[in-house]
Chain A
Amino acid sequence: MPLLTVKNLRTRFSTDRGTVRAVDGVSFELEEGEVMGLVGESGSGKSITAMSIMRLIKEPPGRIEADEITFDGVDLLALTPAQLRDYRARHISMIFQDPMRSLNPVLTIGRQLMETLQRHLRMSARDARRRSIELLEVVGIPRAEKRLDEYPHQFSGGMRQRVMIAIALSCNPRLLIADEATTALDVTIQAQIIDLIRRLRSEMGTAVIWISHDLGLVAGLCDKVSVMYAGRIVESGPVREVFYRPAHGYTLGLMNCTPRVDDIGHRLRPIEGMPPNLAEPMPLCPFLPRCEMAVAACRESKPRLETIAEGHVASCHANLSAYWRKEKVA
């Protein structure tokens, strides 16, 4: 049984410009200890998907619907708000993009770490403090005992994200959702954080949903990847499979505008145009106006997710995998 099952997740927002379907029919499964990348442009619905799983969307104006969201056999949609709170941070944790603003500026780091331990594990203040020091050491913060009494503004960006990770991992959750967790950080700090996540995953067996628009990071860290566009998953599969043989025009477009260090002189090709307005109905492939690979069928019907190879699905009429096969032959 998978650790997390999401079936046909739909999250909408009612705004004055109509209903925005921010997430429109997302499904995936995540096994225990597995690391899944979730990639796509800003506004493609990655963060909303993550927040919908934890039900951190404010309702109203938001509205979360799904055929199924099951975590470890428990139907998350059926939980009362109080039960749900018991799950947050205890079993499913989340790290956010901006470590500068995600920590409360007027509370000490120690306070913010300890409160989770005291809340979920019913630790005494003394135990919680001892455990907090351990946690800070685990995420690589020197002089942890002293730094516990400091405030967020006394930490650098990278250190703050380590604190966020320490908080997220404090109760040994089985699923960690990292939403652009390293985007705001320097490359070197980024590498350290990735290394930390990799280590924690192998030591604690935590499953991870890694949300990023950095394909390079996802390729290096994840077991499988799902590509989102306009609120849907347009392609997903094992990392090697998807990145070596992308089947969707959008995935290919993303890869074409991702620079590679070892490919000097290679011209990056940006994806032209803008993502569609999610408040409008989309009878055809949402990527069609920007797609370079479009075929005649794309203008007639909406493509459905189809299996291309073992575990590799994509919703694309052009079906680029055939294209890769041809190229190999030639």
Chain B
Amino acid sequence: MWSYLVKRLIQMPLVLLVVTITIFLIIRFTPGDPVQIMLGMQTSPEAEAALRAEFRLDQPWHMQYLLWVGDLLQGDFGRSIRMNTPVLQLLADRLPISLALALSAMIFAVVVSIPLGLIAALKRNTWIDYLATGYTLFGFAVPNFALAMILIYVFSITLSWFPITGIGSGASTAPGLWGVVQPYVLPAVALGTLQTAIFTRLLRSSMIDVLGQDYMRTANAKGLQPLTILLVHALKNAMIPFVTMLAIQFGYLIGIQVTIEHIFAIPGMGSAILSAVVNRDFPVIQGFVLVIAAFFMLANIIADILYGIIDPRIRY
């Protein structure tokens, strides 16, 4: 187990190296100059040169990369060209919001998919199973931003139940805990519906698989209560792929929020990257992509660890 884990953790920086070099190359060899975008037309050559030197844009790309990695190893992510604030500071502002959004989407997905997947498996080939299948087909097909607009139209505009914005702005329309939770509801549903479909389908099929196993017959022959059989004997087995998928999808969610952040005006990681791309704010793009890729990889490693913990048969 440990040696496997160490191996994965060693692999991680190597993969991140490939990721960052690729991003670096894309950034440096594409048109668009951050300095010009920032300073605009009326600028002196001296000011331009000073700014270039400050952000090392006058150096060849491989030097820029090495210096960037060197700073990184000392915990320095550099500064935003556009906003002149440390990238680390930006991360500290944005990451918690993205994590909270991903988490709320996961909560929604889990809360819906567990009962739906279980019932679909237990009542296989009945109308309720077909209903669940229909829901998953919809979930797989609807893009999160299109769903977000439907939700806004129904619940914000027509019914006025939820605000259209509000995450990270501090302004809340409702008091207390609900005031904190409320702005997350629509973004979480819009973002998490795809995961709901993935989880429901996965749980249904692994549950059907488990229900056909010999040990379920044993559990029945022991005269155990149906609820015990379902929750202990069946669910614990069916949960193994489910929990693994949970971790993977959590890592994935952080990287696909950008459209949702765009619609609901959420100041998360995705919208930061979007505006950094538009403004050619290189240090921000590099730093944020690095963190998101690292999260994704960590989630995969955690998935493997969880797999080993829940399934006693796995020893790495």
Contact = CB atoms under 8 A, between A and B. Distances in A.
Instruction: Give the interface residue-count category, chain A.
Output: 20 to 34
B312 A93 contact: no
Contacts of A56: 217, 220-221
Given A151-B313, A153-B312, A153-B313, A103 B224 contact: no
A81 B221 CA distance: 12
Contacts of B225: 85, 119
Interface stretch (B71-79, B84-92, B184-192, B232-240): B232-240
A90 B223 CA distance: 8
B30 interface: no
A155 interface: no
Contacts of B213: 101
A85 B229 CA distance: 12
Given A88-B222, A119-B222, A120-B223, A107 B236 contact: yes
A73 interface: no
A101 to B, nearest CB: 4
A116 B215 CA distance: 14
Nearest to A86: B223
> Chain B at the A interface: mostly helix, strand, loop or mixed?
helix
Interface in B297-313: 310-313
A137 interface: no
A253 B217 CA distance: 33
A96 B236 contact: no
B215 A105 contact: yes
B219 interface: yes
Nearest to A55: B220
Interface residues of B, number: 22
A87 interface: yes
Given A96-B214, A98-B214, A105 B312 contact: yes
A85 B310 CA distance: 29
A151 B221 CA distance: 20
B223 A89 contact: yes
Nearest to A54: B221
A107 B217 contact: no
Interface string A70-90: 000000000000001111111
Interface in A214-269: none
B228 interface: yes
Contacts of B311: 105-106
Contacts of B218: 96, 102-104, 164, 167
A88 B214 contact: no
A90 B236 CA distance: 25
Nearest to A101: B214
Contacts of A119: 222-225, 228
Contacts of B220: 56, 88
